[in-house]
Structure 1
Amino acid sequence: MSYRVCLVCMGNICRSPMAEVVLKSTLADHGLGDLVSVDSAGTGGWHQGDPMDERAAAMLAEHGYDGSAHRARQFLAGWFGQVDLVLAMDRDNLRVLRRLAPPGADVRLLRSFDPAAPEGAEVPDPYYGDSEGFAEVLEMVRAASEGLAKHLANTLR
C-alpha cells in the first residue's frame, strides 16, 4: 500500500498542480515513486476539469517538467479517509482544510518541509502576477519537495 499525499491550493490550476508535478519527479529521483502517490486539488471548485494555468505549465516545461495531463478538481472532505498527508499552499487553504478534516488528520503547510523556510511560510498565489511569480513558486515547491522526499525516505523505509 502506498503513502498518499494531496497538495491543495485555491483553484487547483497554479500552485498545487505545479507542486504535484515537481513532487512526483522529486520522489522518483529519491527512489520513492512506487511508495508514494501524489495528487492535487483546490478548496474551490470553479476550475474543475480545467487544465493547468498556461503560465504554470509553461514554467514547468521550461524546467523539464510536464504538466499537460493535469485537470483541476475540488478537494472533498471524504478524501481524508483516502490520503495520509494533506499539504496546503497557504494559511487560508490550511484553515479551510482543517475545518473539513476529521480528528487526527495530517494537514500542514507544504513549506513546513523546506528547512530554509521560516515557520508558517506560504507558497504565494501567482495567478494575478507575471511569470516571475510562477518562477518563485517553482523554486519554493522544489525546496519543499526535496525536504518532503527526505522526510518520507526516513519515515517509510
Structure 2
Amino acid sequence: MINVLFISLGNICRSPMAEAIFRKRIDEAGLSGFVTVDSAGIGHWHEGKEMHPSARVLLGQKGISMGNHTAKQVQAEHLEAYDYIIVMDQLNLQDLSAIAPAYTDRYQLFSDFIPERAGEDIEDPFFTDEFEAVFEMLEAGCVELCETIKQQTQWKEPV
C-alpha cells in the first residue's frame, strides 16, 4: 500500500482539491486498492470546516467529487504512515519541517511533479481567487504523481 498526504495551509482549498483530483486519477488508473490519499493543513483555524465553496463548485464542474471533506490539522505523529508527503508551497514546507523534522526526507513540493514549474509555490486561491489556475496545476501534478507511483512500484495495468 502506498499512502499519499497533501498538505496546504488550512486544508480547505489546495490540499483537498489535490486529494480529490488524485483520488480520481488513481481510480482511473486502477490503483484505488493500492494507493490511499488524504489531506491536512498546517494551521488549525479551519479545522472541522468544509472545503472552500469555490473549490467545491469547481471540482463539481470538472466532474470530481470531494465527498464529505472536513479540514483537519496535520499531526506529527501521523506522518510516519505516509510514503509521500506533498506540500503546496515553501512556507508550508518550512512549517512542516519545524513541526515534524523526523520526516523531512519524505517531504516534497507539489510543483516538483510539474516539470516546468519545479520548485515553485502553488499559490493559495483563498487569497488570490485563482481557483481555475490552481486546479490546472494540481491536475498536471496529479497526473505526474500517478505516473511516478506506477513506475516506482512497477504497476501493471489490469487486463
**Shorter-chain TM-score category?**
over 0.9
Letter paired with 1:125: D
Q: 1:55 is matched with which residue?
A: 54
CA distance, structure 2, for counterparts of residue 68 and residue 6 of structure 1: 17
| C-alpha contact 2:11 2:39 (8 A) present in aligned 1 | yes
Q: Percent identity?
A: 33
Change (3 A) 1:48 1:103: closer
Structure with the largest fraction of helix = 2
State how many pairs are aligned.
153
| C-alpha contact 2:23 2:37 (8 A) present in aligned 1 | yes
Q: 1:156 is matched with which residue?
A: 153
- Give the TM-score, by structure 2 length: 0.91
Residue 138 in structure 1 maps to residue 135 in structure 2:
yes
Letter paired with 2:151: N
| C-alpha contact 1:4 1:85 (8 A) present in aligned 2 | yes
Deviations 1:107-133 (CA, angstroms, capped at 9, x unpaired): 01011111232x312210011233xx0
Q: Which runs of 5 or more structure 1 residues have no equivalent in the other structure?
A: none
CA distance, structure 1, for counterparts of residue 36 and residue 67 of structure 2: 18
Change (3 A) 1:32 1:10: same
- Give the TM-score, by structure 1 length: 0.92
CA distance, structure 1, for counterparts of residue 3 and residue 97 of structure 2: 18
Deviations 1:86-118 (CA, angstroms, capped at 9, x unpaired): 10000000111122130564001011111232x
CA distance, structure 2, for counterparts of residue 105 and residue 129 of structure 1: 30
Q: Runs in 1 of length 4+ with deviation above 3 angstroms?
A: none
Cα RMSD for the two superposed structures = 1.3
Residue 67 in structure 1 maps to residue 71 in structure 2:
no
| C-alpha contact 1:111 1:122 (8 A) present in aligned 2 | yes
CA distance, structure 2, for counterparts of residue 28 and residue 103 of structure 1: 28
CA distance, structure 2, for counterparts of residue 96 and residue 4 of structure 1: 21
